[in-house]
Amino acid sequence: MAIEVGTKLEGKVTGITHFGAFVELSAGVTGLVHISEIADNYVKDVNDHLKLEDKVLVKVINVDKDGKIGLSIRQAVDKPPGEQQQRPERPERGFNRDREDRGGRNDRGGRPFKPTANRLTFEDKMSRFLKDSEERISSLKKNTEGKRGGRGARRV
């Protein structure tokens, strides 16, 4: 029987690693059940769910060109349509959240957010930066001019 994607087969666990379990199928063919495909809930340790020589029902989820077979125990179990596990809803993130729920503060909890009607253009911001920068440099030069000269004081 050829191994095709979607078929359910019975196999025997032949090896357990930290990332999954190796299952031997018919005719000595071995496939891997990744740790994420062992159970519906979080699997911290494969040994908590499977033991060597266990008989398991697996579903073939992929077959690579080089012969590697991906298996799933989780998908092999038929569940009624209403019983499929739902993930809990996550709170909405990003720009869609209302700012009032954070007390008018920005995303990082800093200064209150103040929308401005007239936004500065890049050129305005650049000219403001250059002006501030030149003022700082000139005040720095005034404070350091008299302190240069190396050893000793100035000679008159």
Q: Which residues contact 107 (CB under 8 A, 6 or more apart)?
A: none
76-135 residue pLDDT tens: 887 766 655 555 555 655 555 554 555 555 455 666 656 565 678 889 999 999 999 999
**Domain boundary assignment for the chain:** 8-77
Domain 8-77 has CATH 2.60.40.10: no
Q: Could you tell me what percentage of the chain is helix, strand and coil, using 3-state DSSP and rounding each to the nearest 5?
A: 30, 20, 50
**Two structure tokens written together for 122:** 């890049």
In this structure, what are the phi and psi dihedrals at residue 126, rounded to the nearest 5 degrees?
-65, -45
Q: Residue 123 is inside which H or E element, if any?
A: helix 122-144
pLDDT in tens, 4-58: 899 999 999 999 999 999 999 987 899 999 999 999 999 999 999 999 999 999 9
pLDDT for res 87? 53
Give the closest residue to 27 by CA, choosing from 74, 73, 66, 67: 67
Q: What is the pLDDT of residue 33?
A: 94
**Beta pairing partners, 55:** 12
How many other CB atoms sit within 10 Å of the CB of residue 60? 20
Report if pTM > 0.75: no
Q: How large is the average pLDDT for residues 55-67? A: 92
DSSP state of 73: S
Confidence of residue 147 (pLDDT cuts 50, 70, 90): low
Give the residue among 65, 70, 33 at the shortest CA–CA distance from 49. 33
Strand-strand pairing, 8-17 and 30-34: unpaired
Residue 143, pLDDT score: 81
